[in-house]
């Protein structure tokens, strides 16, 4: 038999595909196992029936073909090709970043069982429906569509019992095809919301990018749900991207309540290996109608993709900052274009990239200016100058008074500080020695309860020193504040209050967060101390006072995006207050009360902030007014990394319209024992930039040696 040749992508950091032989024709997208440099590797058939470019007697046969798995579809291969090209990352490695762990291994997958779906039989349809409301909901769902056991259980906890009864009575039959069931919307959308839904749905079958700019509490989530319901009813699938999922438990609850009988795939790095690959496959074969997940879910094959929603589109977690450095928000727009469907980027504080795109009419802007709950009011924001104030371990007298008053009124308060641990640094009062991480350019953070100093970058730990290693002085001083220190302050002042600290140290295990949420929702908590993990998307009706301990760090930062992030973060935190009937107050302590950021914040005027910030970016030629790429190198010795970039630069003819900055050390130069340097290529012309990056990286590849590592970051965030 004459062998047929296939080009295969393997999980190696290499640009090219590799040719292997098989005696039958394999479809593209098929997972296989191939011999590779004395190992075996999992591979994906990328091209079938090719004419080999190497001598045929050197071509090895494919070892294993996983032919009971569905092959990855062409749309997925195209997405990977685009991502690899755009982010300048090897194709094979890119493909495997985009697969769930189970599919990256050269082993057979366990496939999801096909479940039976039930619907009402003709007899059932002619019978009088049950009287009890909850049974009736189940009955109606079986009337309008079909359910499997799991979905039925989501509607009624005793569903199994009723399914059995109704089956015995002949009221049910197996459905030949899954019919999605979308239950009635209970909330009536207000005019703004209804307009938003209508505007998007008018464009159901064409590529249409929207920026949904709606203030916190304007009801964006309900808008997403309504649009999703509509496309599902029309036989489509919706992809719903959210920031880190453990922070979005509340959103998932809402999703389940709104779509109890719609098959949903939930994809995030925390789900178990098998569950994740099953969810991936259920999305890929069209069974799952809603695919919800963090940034990595952007790579899920979705055959009938009809809508993409990116919630909190400004969130940094959409950007992956290692390996394939993609931005899921930007890939979402690409996918919508490919699938000819609308994509909705939603936020109260859009990224300047998206806001500029809306101003240039590349995206259509939809605004929602009012809170959805007609009784909810925007909180009052007070900017409080702490420059000449005596602080009580981080908190001003005024902040303590506000907290006390709110306790008396049985309100819920949030004390917000974006730093975990006890204090961000430990100093010697005599000689000024400070404890730095030996591996990173960073101070060690004092964690009082664990009695360690800990690096928040590489997790290096040392026991709390008894004395200064330089001068022997035993009087070491904590500088700055972290959640633990604020907790101590508050416990001292408010002994009867229930104080709940929420940071990634107290929320380490899966159920920690749901327990904390329960305490908040049941009303047992009085004061929450929280980091930014609390700022995102949570809706605590009772919360009516927010104290921001210190917001100044970002205002001193050399990162030009720091101000944008701070503004978004503070608007988000402020948005947590006064979502229900009680008016909210936000109290911000700062040493820089005259920074313009605070006047925009006080007026809750995102537009003015964005206009001002964009004008500055333009003046300094910074993104998004230009396109940028960072070329980075790291090595044990900084000189090695620097010379590599410098040499490559010398042999490089800069294309027109492209400017180079650097090389220079990264802001945080030393990380985990390596020195990091970078240069930036920038251009107003995207194509010119990409050409420059390609040519420059060829130069680099020619001269790279030793232990130097290089990476390319397109549209970078780090600096």
Indicate whether 274 belongs to the interface with Zn ion (CB under 5 A): no
* Segment holding 385, helix H or strand E: strand 380-385
The answer to whether residues 692 and 683 touch, using CB atoms and an 8 Å cutoff, is yes
Interface residue with ligand ADP among 187, 471, 479, 654 (CB under 6 A) is: 187
Q: Which residues make beta-bridge pairs with 77?
A: none
CA distance 405 to 379: 17
Q: Pick from ligand ADP, Zn ion, none: which does 239 bind, CB < 5 to 8 A by kind? A: none
What's the chain's Rg over C-alpha atoms? Answer: 28
Q: Can you list the alpha helix ranges (DSSP code H) found in 169-309?
A: 191-201, 220-233, 249-258, 273-284
Q: Where does residue 359 rank: exposed (0-12), middle (13-18), buried (19+ CB within 10 A)?
A: middle
- Which CB sits closer to ligand ADP, 314 or 674? 314
Stretch that binds ligand ADP, among 61-69, 213-221, 396-404, 649-657 (CB under 6 A): 213-221
Stretch that binds Zn ion, among 136-144, 209-217, 416-424, 458-466 (CB under 5 A): 458-466
- Which CB sits closer to Zn ion, 421 or 584? 421
| 97 Cβ contact partners less than 8 Å away, ≥ 6 residues apart | 299, 323, 324
The DSSP secondary-structure symbol of 53 reads S
- Which CB sits closer to Zn ion, 256 or 461? 461
Binding to ligand ADP by CB under 6 A, coded x per residue (else -) over 539-568, reads x-----------------------------
- Which CB sits closer to ligand ADP, 580 or 664? 580
- Which CB sits closer to ligand ADP, 189 or 679? 189
Stretch that binds ligand ADP, among 9-17, 185-193, 558-566, 639-647 (CB under 6 A): 185-193
| 35 Cβ contact partners less than 8 Å away, ≥ 6 residues apart | 41, 60, 63
CA distance 325 to 713: 6
Min dist. Cβ of residue 346 to ligand ADP (A): 8
Indicate whether 458 belongs to the interface with Zn ion (CB under 5 A): yes
Q: Does residue 323 come out as left (phi exceeding 0), alpha (psi in the -120 to 50 range) or beta? A: left
Query: Helix, strand or coil for residue 219?
Result: coil
Q: Which residues make beta-bridge pairs with 173?
A: 119
- Which CB sits closer to Zn ion, 398 or 457? 457
Stretch that binds ligand ADP, among 119-127, 181-189, 328-336, 388-396 (CB under 6 A): 181-189
334-373: contacts with ligand ADP (CB under 6 A): 372-373
Interface residue with ligand ADP among 221, 237, 396, 554 (CB under 6 A) is: 221
Q: How many residues bind Zn ion (CB under 5 A)?
A: 7
CA proximity to 313, closest of 384, 218, 214 = 214
Interface residue with Zn ion among 220, 460, 485, 582 (CB under 5 A) is: 460
Min dist. Cβ of residue 588 to ligand ADP (A): 21
- Which CB sits closer to Zn ion, 28 or 671? 671
Min dist. Cβ of residue 305 to ligand ADP (A): 23
| 425 Cβ contact partners less than 8 Å away, ≥ 6 residues apart | 434, 435, 443, 444, 445, 446, 478, 479, 480
Residues in the chain: 719
Interface residue with ligand ADP among 43, 180, 217, 424 (CB under 6 A) is: 217
Report residue 513 CA to chain centroid gap: 18
Residue matched to tokens 């800990």: 454
Interface residue with Zn ion among 98, 247, 284, 440 (CB under 5 A) is: 440
CA distance 669 to 682: 21
Residue matched to tokens 């900084």: 638
Q: Pick from ligand ADP, Zn ion, none: which does 187 bind, CB < 5 to 8 A by kind? A: ligand ADP
Interface residue with Zn ion among 254, 304, 457, 493 (CB under 5 A) is: 457
Q: Pick from ligand ADP, Zn ion, none: which does 455 bind, CB < 5 to 8 A by kind? A: Zn ion
Dmax of the chain from CA atoms? Answer: 90
Min dist. Cβ of residue 441 to Zn ion (A): 9
- Which CB sits closer to Zn ion, 35 or 438? 438
Strand-pair category, 452-454 with 445-447? antiparallel
Indicate whether 480 belongs to the interface with ligand ADP (CB under 6 A): no
| 144 Cβ contact partners less than 8 Å away, ≥ 6 residues apart | 179, 181
Q: How many residues bind ligand ADP (CB under 6 A)?
A: 16
Q: Which residues make beta-bridge pairs with 174?
A: 118
- Which CB sits closer to Zn ion, 565 or 670? 670
CA distance 264 to 673: 43
Q: Pick from Zn ion, ligand ADP, none: which does 216 bind, CB < 5 to 8 A by kind? A: ligand ADP
CA distance 85 to 652: 21
As given in the structure block, the two tokens for residue 593 are: 């009360």
As given in the structure block, the two tokens for residue 87 are: 């982010």
Indicate whether 248 belongs to the interface with ligand ADP (CB under 6 A): no
Interface residue with ligand ADP among 146, 190, 351, 711 (CB under 6 A) is: 190
Stretch that binds ligand ADP, among 77-85, 159-167, 189-197, 329-337 (CB under 6 A): 189-197
Interface residue with ligand ADP among 189, 357, 378, 628 (CB under 6 A) is: 189
Indicate whether 243 belongs to the interface with ligand ADP (CB under 6 A): no
Indicate whether 443 belongs to the interface with Zn ion (CB under 5 A): no
Q: Pick from Zn ion, ligand ADP, none: which does 458 bind, CB < 5 to 8 A by kind? A: Zn ion
CA proximity to 708, closest of 629, 642, 661, 648 = 642
Residues that bind Zn ion (CB under 5 A): 437, 439-440, 455, 457-458, 460
Residues that bind ligand ADP (CB under 6 A): 187-190, 193, 214, 216-222, 372-373, 539
């Amino acid at each position: 038999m004459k062998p047929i040749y296939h080009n295969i992508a393997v999980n190696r950091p290499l640009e090219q595909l590799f040719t292997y032989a098989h005696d039958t024709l394999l479809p593209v997208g098929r997972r296989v196992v191939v011999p590779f440099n004395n190992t075996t590797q999992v591979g994906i058939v990328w091209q079938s029936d090719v004419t080999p470019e190497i001598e045929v007697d050197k071509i090895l046969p494919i070892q294993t073909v996983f032919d009971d798995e569905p092959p990855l579809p062409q749309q997925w291969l195209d997405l990977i090709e685009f991502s690899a090209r755009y982010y300048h990352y090897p194709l094979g490695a890119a493909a495997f970043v985009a697969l769930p762990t189970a599919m990256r291994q050269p082993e057979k997958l366990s496939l999801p069982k096909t479940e039976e779906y039930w619907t009402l039989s003709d007899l059932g349809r002619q019978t009088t429906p049950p009287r009890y409301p909850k049974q009736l909901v189940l009955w109606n769902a079986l009337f309008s569509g079909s359910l499997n056991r799991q979905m039925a259980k989501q509607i009624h906890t005793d569903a199994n019992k009723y399914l059995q009864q109704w089956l015995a009575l002949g009221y049910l039959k197996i459905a030949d095809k899954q019919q999605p069931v979308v239950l009635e919307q209970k909330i009536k959308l207000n005019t703004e919301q209804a307009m938003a839904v209508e505007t998007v749905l008018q464009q159901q079958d064409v590529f249409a990018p929207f920026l949904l700019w709606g203030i916190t509490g304007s009801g964006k989530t309900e808008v997403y749900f309504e649009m999703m319901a509509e496309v599902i009813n029309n036989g489509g699938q919706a992809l719903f991207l959210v920031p880190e999922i453990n922070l979005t438990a509340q959103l998932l609850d809402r999703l389940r309540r709104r779509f109890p009988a719609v098959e949903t795939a939930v994809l995030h790095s925390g789900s178990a290996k098998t569950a994740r690959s099953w969810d991936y496959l259920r999305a890929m074969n069209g069974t799952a109608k809603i695919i919800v997940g963090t940034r990595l879910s952007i790579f899920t094959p979705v055959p009938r993709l009809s809508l993409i929603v990116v919630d909190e589109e400004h969130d940094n977690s959409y950007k992956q900052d290692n390996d394939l450095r993609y931005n899921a928000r930007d890939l979402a727009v690409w996918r919508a274009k490919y699938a000819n469907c609308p994509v909705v980027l939603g936020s109260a504080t859009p990224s300047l990239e998206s806001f500029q795109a809306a101003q240039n009419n590349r995206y259509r802007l939809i605004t929602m200016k009012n809170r959805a709950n007609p009784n909810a009011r925007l909180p009052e924001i007070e900017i409080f100058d702490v420059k000449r104030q005596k602080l009580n371990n981080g908190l001003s007298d005024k902040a303590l008074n506000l907290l006390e008053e709110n306790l008396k009124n049985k309100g819920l308060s949030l004390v917000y500080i974006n730093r975990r641990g006890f204090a961000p640094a430990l100093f010697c009062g005599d000689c000024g020695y400070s404890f730095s991480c030996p591996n990173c350019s960073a101070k060690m953070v004092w964690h009082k309860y664990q009695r360690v100093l800990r690096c928040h970058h590489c997790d290096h730990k040392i026991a709390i020193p008894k004395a200064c290693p330089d001068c022997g002085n035993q009087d070491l001083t904590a500088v700055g504040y972290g959640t633990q220190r604020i907790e101590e302050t508050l416990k001292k002042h408010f002994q009867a209050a229930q104080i709940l600290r929420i940071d990634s140290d107290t929320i380490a295990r899966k159920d920690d967060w749901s327990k904390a949420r329960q305490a908040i929702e049941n009303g047992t908590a009085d004061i929450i101390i929280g980091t930014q993990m609390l700022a995102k998307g949570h809706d605590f009706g009772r919360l009516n006072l927010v104290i921001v301990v210190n917001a100044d760090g970002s205002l001193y930062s050399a990162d030009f995006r720091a101000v944008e992030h701070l503004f978004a973060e503070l608007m988000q935190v402020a948005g947590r207050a006064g979502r229900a009937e009680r008016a909210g107050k936000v109290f911000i302590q700062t040493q820089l009360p005259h920074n313009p950021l605070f006047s925009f914040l006080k007026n809750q005027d995102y537009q003015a902030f964005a206009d001002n910030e964009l004008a500055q970016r333009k003046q300094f030629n910074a993104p998004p007014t230009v396109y940028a790429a960072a070329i980075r190198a790291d090595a044990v010795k900084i000189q090695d990394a620097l010379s590599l970039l410098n040499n490559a630069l010398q042999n490089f003819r800069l294309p027109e319209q492209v400017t180079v900055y650097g090389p220079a050390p990264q802001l945080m130069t030393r990380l985990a024992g390596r020195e990091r340097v970078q240069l930036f290529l920038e251009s107003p012309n995207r194509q010119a930039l990409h050409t420059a990056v390609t040519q420059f990286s060829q130069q680099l590849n020619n001269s790279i040696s030793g232990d130097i590592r290089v990476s390319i970051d397109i549209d970078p965030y780090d600096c």
